[in-house]
Structure formats: structure tokens, C-alpha cells
Homo-oligomer: A and B are copies of this chain.
Amino acid sequence: MGGDYAPAEIVRGALDYLYGTEELHQVLLVGVPERIHAELAAENARESERLRIVPALQIIEMDEHPMEAFREKRDSSIVVCNQLVRKGEADAAFSAGNTGAMMVASTLVLELLEGVRRAGIAAMLPRENGGYTVVVDAGANVDCRAKHLEHFALLGSVFNEKVMGIENPRVGLLANGEEPSKGNEMTREAFVLLSALHPRINFIGNVEGNHVTENRVDVVVCDGLVGNVLLKGAEGVGRLAISILKQNMETTTDPETLSRMDAVMAQFRHQFDYSEHGGAPLLGVNGVSIIAHGRSDRRAIANGIRQAARAVQSGYLEAVRIALKETRLKQGQQE
């Protein structure tokens, strides 16, 4: 029930996913049954063994206060989704709804992994020459301590390795320059903590904003305010590029020119339209929880469900638990 185009695009995205995969996954559509039935009917589909409806009668609106919404709407799709995962009746929770409410619900229902103090949102930014750069935290925690960034580094590194298949991912700390002296007090402290995680993570030092699109780093670690500004700023510039190209296409009549510009537009959409790329996993909670962009369309939803399935199958959660335990053991020995 969450997202700017819910439930229509959510239902369509789920159908696209099911029709397009050879895996025998089940999709549970959580929400107001009548509305979901209506959307299914509109697509000539209906409930089946692989597509079940789980009732949740309340709806958390996009602008509701996350904590209040969580407390007052226990029968909302966001809360019920997370309870299904908690009870083992689902393997992953996925929502395009109120980001804050999804964060709160996943953190409180699934709980944090042992040793983790804050969950972080991992955004995936497409970069030059293909692939993605993971940015953690992309907006969950605005006031961070160095210790939180240490966890984001570990969580992001394991996620990148297990789910995205990057061997020994390069982990960088976002700062205003590459020298270790750069950054603020908090990042300089985090620099020391991240260095001490060697060889558990492949820490390459400080990275700058432009490195994110340049395939120089795989996992970028930062506090949620900086990460959010980076992400939104990148979105803004990307949209500007798309809009300039679009304006030029509108005044073009030559078919050869248009077809070429169409090809450029497709590349731009892939690179700059972040809603295309599914969702952002919430790392640090005891389960797979994925938060999609509010303006996700059916394609983004299908991609997000695929991403959730991959995260479950990858064994990421088990690997994270081991990594956290090893790190705690090592730190215990040092103390």
C-alpha cells in the first residue's frame, strides 16, 4: 500500500517479477485485500499459490511521522510485512512506502543484529563502465558517531561481496579530500576504526564525492546526512541531463538524429534514474528489508523484488553475523 503509485504499480511489478523468473518464489502482497484484488483483476490475474494476499487494513501515508505511524498502525502493510519476516513466514520485507516508517518497523520488529547499534540505508548508484557503487548510510542516521560508520563499512562490504558478487570490495570513507587528515572530527576517528578492520574489509582510505561515479570505490561510507545530500544532489544533476536531452529531442525531426538521441536517453535513464534500480537495503537489521523509492513504477518494483530474492539466497545475513562476531572477538582480544 506504500509508494506514490500504490497499489497499482506494486501489484503490476509483482506480476512482472513472477512472470519473468524461473525461480519458484512466492510473493505475498500485504495490504487491503479488496484493493489488491481489484488491481489483480485489472491485470487479468488472481491470487494463486505463488501470489498470496496477506491482509493489512491500515495504510501509513507517505508524510506520516514514522514512529507515531508505527505505534498507531500495527495493522499497516509496512508493519505486517516486517512481522511476517520476524515470524519466518516471509524471507524478505519490501516496501516503496514511507521510508522512515519502514526503517522504524524493520529496526523494531526484526531488531538489530548483535553488535550493531544503528541500521544504515545502502543506496546503489550506477557508475561509469557499468556496475554500482554502494553508499551507506544514505539517510537513516543524521547524527552519527565513528562507531556507526565502522558498522556501515562492515555491513556494506559483506553486502557488496555476497549480494552483488564483488570480490574484496574497495571500501572508502567519504570526505573532502583523499589525505587521511581530511574530513571532520567524526570521519577522522572513523578512519582509524576502518583501518583497524583490515583484513576483514579492504579499506582504501578517504574518497571524494566524484569518486562515487568513477569506479574507484565499491562501498562508500558516510553519515546519513552527507549520504542523503550526495544521493539527492546526484539525482538532481542526472535529471537535469535528462531534461536537457529531452528538450533537444522535442525540437528534432530528423529520424536518424532522433534514433541516436533515443539511445543516449536510454543510457541516461539507466545511469541517472535511480528509481529504475529497485530498492535500498536496510543493513544492520536481523532480516532482509528493502526500501524502494516512493516513485517506483512496476519495473522498479520487479527489480526490487528480484534484489530481495537475491539477498536472501546469497547467504548475506549469515555472512554478516559471522563477520560481526569475528570483529567483536578480535576487538575483545585487543582490549
Contact = CB atoms under 8 A, between A and B. Distances in A.
Q: What copy number does this chain have within its complex?
A: 2
Contact of A260 (B128, B182, B223, B252): B252
B236 A212 contact: yes
Interface stretch (A5-13, A237-245, A290-298, A308-316): A237-245
B244 A267 contact: yes
A254 interface: yes
Interface string A169-187: 0000011100000111101
A211 interface: yes
Contacts of A234: 209, 233-234, 236-237
Contacts of A237: 213, 233-234, 237-238, 241, 272
A142 B184 contact: yes
Interface string A117-144: 0000000000110000000000100110
A186 to B, nearest CB: 9
A328 to B, nearest CB: 28
A160 B241 CA distance: 25
A257 B212 CA distance: 31
Contacts of A241: 237-238, 241, 268, 271-272
B210 A232 contact: yes
A102 to B, nearest CB: 15
A230 B240 CA distance: 15
A286 B328 CA distance: 52
A208 B232 contact: yes
A216 to B, nearest CB: 10
A272 B124 CA distance: 22
Contact of A230 (B143, B233, B238, B267): B233
A272 B267 CA distance: 18
A166 interface: no
23 contacts: A142-B183, A143-B184, A175-B225, A176-B229, A184-B225, A208-B228, A209-B228, A209-B229, A209-B230, A209-B232, A209-B234, A210-B233, A210-B236, A213-B240, A226-B229, A233-B233, A244-B264, A248-B264, A248-B267, A252-B260, A254-B257, A261-B261, A261-B264
